[in-house]
Amino acid sequence: MDWNLVMIMVGIHALMFLTPGPDSIIVVSRATSQGMRHAFAAIFGVISAGLILVPAIAFGMDFINSLSPAVWMGVRAAGALYLIYVGSRMLAAELTRRRTGTPQANRSATAQDEPLWAACLQGFLTNLGNPKMVVLLTSFLPQFVAVDLGHVSYQILMLGLVMYLNGFVCFTVIALTAVTVKGQIVKRLGPGKLSFWGGSFAGSTMLGVGVWMLAAPVRYISSTR
């Protein structure tokens, strides 16, 4: 591998995080509404998806997409429906809190009781069903392969793993930043402003991303009829 190319790839990939995507939205939502433990669980889920996507693409076994488009769309639909489900629940909980006047602290405690595996599964399905990752792995990574060194599949595999490791670092920084900003809002404006960072914001973004991700499977089903 050409490590100079690897470092360039890491730098460019880090800059890509300036443009929020489904994965970063999930991490921020989890961090601000439930804390760093749930954010790390979501990040772990995102990284775990790479253990499937990277080897599949690196060794020319893009079975999820090319061999069976229906399976690929099924994965995307599952992730989208899960996001819609979680977002709807969070919005419903926020509406209930406002209607009943439940203190914000009680709502936050309830949110933190959610099992970590749920946040992990959400991150996993979101990344696995994100078409941006397939495009990134199939078009972006090959640009940094040193063809003259041979073993192209091995190089793509290593580049993909480095990319996901870089993603772990970037997601961690994003989550910590979000929690810090949240803390400043509480400190300066009071806990009442946390509804923006809680059910309203997190629920709305998850619901919106879920609907967006569901559009492609719906179009696919319509086209096959």
pLDDT at 43 over 90: yes
Residue 164's SS3 state is helix
**Between residues 120 and 89, the one the model is more confident about:** 120
The pLDDT value given to residue 61: 47
d(CA 81, CA 85): 6
Mean pLDDT for the stretch of residues 85-95: 76
Mean pLDDT for the stretch of residues 6-21: 76
C-alpha distances out from residue 47 to 89, 116, 150, 206, Å: 25, 15, 27, 19
Q: What angle do CA 69, 75, 81 make, to 5 degrees?
A: 130
C-alpha distances out from residue 189 to 13, 123, 177, Å: 35, 31, 18
Tell me the per-residue pLDDT of 106-160, one tens digit each, with 9 for 90 and over.
Answer: 444 445 567 888 889 888 988 887 766 776 776 667 677 776 777 777 888 888 8
**Between residues 122 and 12, the one the model is more confident about:** 122
Which helix H or strand E contains 84, and what residues bound it? helix 69-100
d(CA 198, CA 34): 8
Q: Which amino acid is at 55?
A: P
Q: Is pTM beyond 0.75 here? A: no
Task: Quickly state the pLDDT bin for 192 (edges 50, 70, 90).
Answer: low
**Between residues 32 and 38, the one the model is more confident about:** 38
d(CA 193, CA 191): 5
Could you tell me if 44 and 123 are in contact, meaning their C-beta atoms sit under 8 angstroms apart?
A: yes
pLDDT at 72 over 90: no
